[in-house]
Amino acid sequence: MANFSYEKMSFELERSITQAELTAGYNHLHHADTLRLLEEGRVWFLEEIGFPLQGLLEQGLFLVITQISVQYRRELFAEPVRISCFEPRVEGTRLSLRQEIVKAPKRRAIVAEIEFCCMDSESKRAIAPPKELLEAFLKGL
């Protein structure tokens, strides 16, 4: 399978971190919870391109994280943030995205590279992503 990428696309989800989400004692968002924010961004991205997770599950497909690299640059507090997904790439059966969580005013707090694959729910094996998913993933809306 060929390798493809589309560098100019960016999807942004605006969200506010609540006081209830902060770690007691530190009064900031725990690093593990930033992974949940990144997941929210990816789920939203998939919905926006026409592939909601529920629909993939109904087709017997799981999207499974195979690799994640995260740079923690700034603390996140109870504040508005923007979660971005951009630079989608396909390398063989692997899909990847760059993601950022940005706090005002345009200060990167989290920078991540996420790699995942499609897994067949019955065989529990990685499979080639459906052509329609690949096209939507690379093109965006």
Domains and CATH numbers, the chain: 3-139 (3.10.129.10)
pLDDT at 105: 83
Does residue 115 carry a pLDDT above 70? yes
What are the pLDDT digits (tens) for 33-63? 999 999 999 999 999 999 999 999 999 999 9
What are the pLDDT digits (tens) for 84-95? 999 999 998 999
Q: Are 9 and 86 in contact (CB under 8 A)?
A: yes
Indicate the pLDDT class of residue 112, thresholds 50, 70 and 90. very high
Angle at 37 (CA atoms; ends 31, 42), nearest 5 degrees: 135
Greatest Cα pair distance, the chain, in angstroms, is 49
Mean pLDDT, rounded, for 91-112: 94
